[in-house]
Amino acid sequence: MAKMTAAEAAVHVLQKEGISVAFGVPGAAINPLYAALKKVGKIKHILGRHVEGASHMAEGYTRAAPGNIGVCIGTSGPAGTDMITGLYSAQADSIPILCITGQAPRARLHKEDFQAVDIASIAKTVTKMATTVLEPAQVPRVFQQAFHLMRSGRPGPVLIDLPFDVMMAQIEFDPDTYTPLEAFKPRASRAQVEKALAMMNEAEHPLITAGGGIINANASALLQEFAEIVNVPVIPTLMGWGSIPDDHPLMAGMAGLQTSHRYGNATVLAADFIIGIGNRWANRHTGSVDVFTEGRTFVHVDIEPTQIGRVFGPDLGIVSDAGHALELFVAVAKEWKAAGKLRDRTGWVAQCQHRKRTMLRRTDYNDVPVKPLRVYEEMNKYFGRNTRYVSAIGLSQIAAAQFLHVYQPRNWINCGQAGPLGWTIPAALGVRAADPSTDIVAISGDYDFQFLIEELAVGAQFKLPYIHVLVNNSYLGLIRQSQRGFDMDFCVQLSFENVNAPELNGYGVDHVAVVEGLGCKAIRVHRPDDIIPAFEQARELMAKHSVPVVVEVILERVTNIAMGTEINAINEFNDIIDVA
């Protein structure tokens, strides 16, 4: 055993649990932990400019690779409340991150001390555990419990709040004998899998819905193997996008009210059976339950017992980690195929492939100012199959999901349920911190970009290069489109005459000047034919300077993107293509 501060013990646990990078902002109440980080060493710290930004960096880091857990550190009071959005975003998408906050000394907790707030109570509804540690000797085991909880069952975030005197106290702890706890993952039974396969076999037009739980479980290869054995098309959710390549013959498109394909919705409406694996039946995927479920039988496989039946009651529910379930589905399907028990799905697959070839949306617009749909066409032309895309919310994200192509798991990194503006920049930096080599391309509208724009300085300081495609229409575009239902265009225009940049012609903020002032590089594009040359220039600038490079495309002010209130009632505001 060794004598050390509780803060030093916490850092030793972090290392033993595989943490090599942390994001955060120091402050007086958390300085004992920073002193321990400095003394113990081996954990790289990336300094955020805003604690919310640092929490989203931790999210991006986790989402980038299997097994990653992002760590965010902040001081007492407002640092913890700043992290709440990051915790909510992580919890909503089943992403494990660990947020650590400093706190006033225990004797001062109920005396309205400076920056003393009950952050554990505030964070409880958006975490798997939120606790203020009151006994120094408990610190290493609370951290051990945190990692066990984050990895067990449905993954999610944890907040640990450490009073100043707790961190400073001397305790006995032996790092050499520390061992992480084995995570608990529920497993499907063979009887459940056989029942689900029997139900699929009875259906004429079955589908597999692939959710984010498949990516969390690192089970995309198993999903593809299962789909190929049973020859059943796959509809990924937004969080499951990339679990099967976009050009795979069984990838039937995405469905939903916004981030969906025409052919994906049409295929869901033609289906009579759907097995969802690792998904939530989110409302942007389903629309109203009545329309989505009419005439269809459902099996739902999810790691979280209370998720089954939350939106609607399936005909069969199976509580299981997606990876464990798919291992058994593959094994049983192989046996049934060898025995000639699986139905021939050739005709149904051909129908789905026909819809995918023919039910398209136009993107080849030559307008100036640029139509946003053309931007995504150029991105598809230029960026390769291995590109990681990072996006948050808004018309830019919705259009990206409709028009971009994703071919691998974790190559679409998106805050799905929470959708906080400002998420994209810090998340992209977190992805880059986790992955030093792959092409990373972020996509933002101008308002998302402005929310946490200061985090670009982090990319400049710590040499975290990536390309950020900024589509600028100087509008809160999604909210403006939503306001059509109220017959108004109110408080959503970001345009103004910038006295320092009259050449912007009323588009307001000079993003190029701001980006360059933060130590990064920026290119502004006005014409569609100049987009790919700008990407080429951006790649050269990244290689030369190792900083984020922003490619700003000036868009037409108003473009409505396809969406609707039901999957059978999508408004196609732009040209559609029905190929013969």
For the chain, residues with pLDDT lower than 70 are 1
**Residue at 183 is within a domain:** no
Inter-residue contact 168 to 4 (CB < 8 Å): no
Domain span including residue 85: 2-177
Catalytic residue among 328, 476, 523, 525: 476
**Residue at 241 is within a domain:** yes
388 plus 526 within the same structural domain:
yes
33 plus 102 within the same structural domain:
yes
Indicate if 476 belongs to the active site.
yes
Inter-residue contact 14 to 160 (CB < 8 Å): no
Catalytic residue among 11, 19, 25, 166: 25
Please give the pLDDT value at position 499: 87
348 plus 436 within the same structural domain:
no
Catalytic residue among 421, 453, 458, 561: 421
Indicate if 234 belongs to the active site.
no
- Identify the domain boundary among 129, 155, 177: 177
**Residue at 366 is within a domain:** yes
Q: For position 394, which CATH number holds?
A: 3.40.50.970
351 plus 395 within the same structural domain:
no
**Residue at 576 is within a domain:** no
125 plus 41 within the same structural domain:
yes
Is the four-CA dihedral 535, 536, 539, 541 of positive or negative sign?
negative
481 plus 405 within the same structural domain:
yes
**Residue at 271 is within a domain:** yes
77 plus 156 within the same structural domain:
yes
Indicate if 479 belongs to the active site.
yes
Lookup: tokens for 450 = 């402005």
3-state helix, strand, coil in the chain (%, to 5): 45, 20, 40
348 plus 465 within the same structural domain:
no
Question: Going by C-beta distance under 8 Å and a sequence separation of 6 or more, which residues neighbour residue 488?
Answer: none
**Residue at 578 is within a domain:** no
Inter-residue contact 453 to 514 (CB < 8 Å): yes
Please give the pLDDT value at position 1: 67
Alpha-carbon distance of 354 to 500, in angstroms, equals: 53
Please give the pLDDT value at position 112: 76
Indicate if 71 belongs to the active site.
no
Alpha-carbon distance of 365 to 324, in angstroms, equals: 46
Catalytic residue among 14, 30, 40, 51: 51
- Identify the domain boundary among 177, 207, 225: 177
Please give the pLDDT value at position 482: 82
Inter-residue contact 3 to 55 (CB < 8 Å): no
136 plus 220 within the same structural domain:
no
- pLDDT tens digits, 537-572: 999 999 999 999 999 999 998 888 899 999 999 999
413 plus 306 within the same structural domain:
no
Q: For position 336, which CATH number holds?
A: 3.40.50.1220
Indicate if 421 belongs to the active site.
yes
25 plus 91 within the same structural domain:
yes
Nearest one of 534, 555, 579 to 446, comparing CA atoms? 555
Alpha-carbon distance of 236 to 541, in angstroms, equals: 35
- Identify the domain boundary among 303, 325, 358: 358
Q: How many domains does the structure of the chain reveal? A: 3
**Residue at 580 is within a domain:** no
Alpha-carbon distance values, 301 to 201, 316, 442 (Å) = 17, 9, 32
The secondary structure element, H or E, covering residue 429 is helix 424-434
278 by Cβ neighbours in 10 Å (0-12 / 13-18 / 19+) ranks as buried
Please give the pLDDT value at position 512: 95
Alpha-carbon distance of 474 to 472, in angstroms, equals: 6
**Residue at 265 is within a domain:** yes
Catalytic residue among 479, 494, 514, 532: 479
282 plus 373 within the same structural domain:
no
Question: Going by C-beta distance under 8 Å and a sequence separation of 6 or more, which residues neighbour residue 322?
Answer: 211, 213, 214, 216, 217, 219, 277, 278, 301, 303
Name the DSSP class of 558.
-
